A and B are shown apart, each in its own frame.
Chain A
Amino acid sequence: MAALLDTLAREFRVDADAPFAPLRARAFANARRRGLPSPREEDWKYTDLAGLTLAATRPASPSSEHAALPLIAGDGPRLVFVDGRYSAALSSPISEAGLTVRPLSAMLAEQPAALASLFERGAADDAPVFDALNAAFVEDGALIEVAADAAIARPLTVLFLYEGAEARGHIASVIKVRVGARSRLELVEVHYGREAATNLTNASTDIEAAAGSELTHYRLTAEAAQANHIGSVRLRAARDAALSSYSFVFGGRLTRIDVRAALAEPGARVTLNGLFVAGAGQHIDHQTFIDHQAAHTVSEELYKGLADGDGRGVFRGQVLVRPGAQKISAQQASHNLLLSPTAEIDTKPELEIYADDVVCTHGATVGQIDEAAVFYLQSRGIPAAEARALLTFGFAQAVVEQVQFAPLRAWLTAALAGRADVPLPTPVEESP
């Protein structure tokens, strides 16, 4: 287990004059002291990091294929990072009124003081290990601010491309979002790896939604087969704010995503939805935590999981209702399909409730495609494999259809179709 941290110790260089050097050093020292979490810890019960190492990367030549990615097409506002570094060439100018977006690297160089809290949190003694490593290593990312009363019409895309063109294996990044009061933003966060990449992504997203604002956050992880991904999403919804955060995971070897949502003030609403496909050789672990801190708050959660080959999907959903947080509604569901005899699903929906005027429910299912339905479709003339793909798609549809951003919905549809190797009906898209 020390292997990963030892490798990182060799990579860890901190220039004494660089901003936050002491904090970075402290964060790294904390991480080393504590070591990687083990399955004995409840949070990591189903994910063993013992085998997690940083492969010696052989720098590949930069590619140009990403230009063709459907998600990058179009002229919408976009920030692109290649192997963790901001690429002005691939990014598009941002001209929406009320929206300010800056690369973290620029901010570090020009106004580091504004970033103090970010490094202080990572250097805290109780910071989770990957948060500490993020603070120690982070070089770039996106700082996003929406002014009050601004409705940003076009979705903002933040795209991380992993080319494997860098010697560094551990790529830490940060997205920090502040949505002003009564404002609206749609944010698309994509982590996309090229086939040869073997990176360990350590991506942290921090979103604050001020009173009455509305934010939708789509997070897509499509890492390369040998890449590992550690993601952290923190959300805070103020009074009457409505926050939705989606996590879609395709690809990657080991993926672990923590989503923590705080409903901090009355009237806040949070939706956490997810869809993952754990194919052969993949391990995908989602840990979500919904914290009802205030009265009159509502949360909804729906995670759908597919496990195929020897893939393993893990879901843990905690819902906490704090003392005094009355008039709460919390609904949570974790539904999973096992598509092969060697796949595995572990799901753990949890409710922890310290108030009485609440309506909280959760449901979890693990099953397989309904063979009666397969037969029904077959009897209508659809081949069995296609019938199964259709039913699998239908199963995932409940999450996919909620995606308002058409290119992402198209990509998800294609990805679901691609894995079953049969054509699927293309949903009717609205024009871009």
Chain B
Amino acid sequence: MLKIENLHVEIEGKPILRGLDLELPSGQVHAIMGPNGSGKSTLAHVIAGKPGYTVTRGSVTFDGKDLLALEPEARAGEGVFLAFQYPLEIPGVNNVYMLKAALNGIRKYRGLPEMDAVQFLNLVKAKTKIVGLKESLLNRPVNQGFSGGEKKRNEVFQMCVLEPRLAVLDETDSGLDIDALRIVAEGVNQLRDPARSFLVVTHYQRLLDYIVPDAVHVLAQGRIVKSGPRELALELEQRGYDWLLPTAVA
């Protein structure tokens, strides 16, 4: 499904990713772990098409399609979703309204008819239950005045409504207490499906207790330096990352 080959990415001339390879098959959950500054968020942003990153080499394909050639909204249309580490506040723009515009934008991209207001609202109400998002938050401006936990829930809620085929969760666990973490994880687990893949970017192992990955990759100094089964995450928690770094190896 998602295939990344020899990806090199720079920000303002500074190399961040330096030859990253990754394959994420359909229906699987892969975790990306790594020390601070290793390029985890860069990877998430490049998949979603955030401006400001220069891909100098390599490719990212999604079902054989060149993702890098697509605008961010087209990537969403293809089924890519990024749950932001720092969800933006957008004053004056109603949450539900934004979501409806998003859903219909994606449907249009796929050649489907727009959803009418009644259908949409029913859908939204059903989905709020999954992540336990207060209905009162729906009609507030996007993320404005939301607590940290509410913002993260709102991200997962949007994911539930938009039903992507590839969800990239960028440090969705950061800033969440254990209850919120569990709820968010449950939302993700409910969406697990043979036709849907997840890339879970995280700094801590604890999220993976709830979202059990099929594979764990360690990203360090811009490359995947080690891949393994979920047990690798536990090992990382005990041993840290240093033993994997090229300097430590050498």
Q: Do chains A and B touch in the complex (CB under 8 A)?
A: no
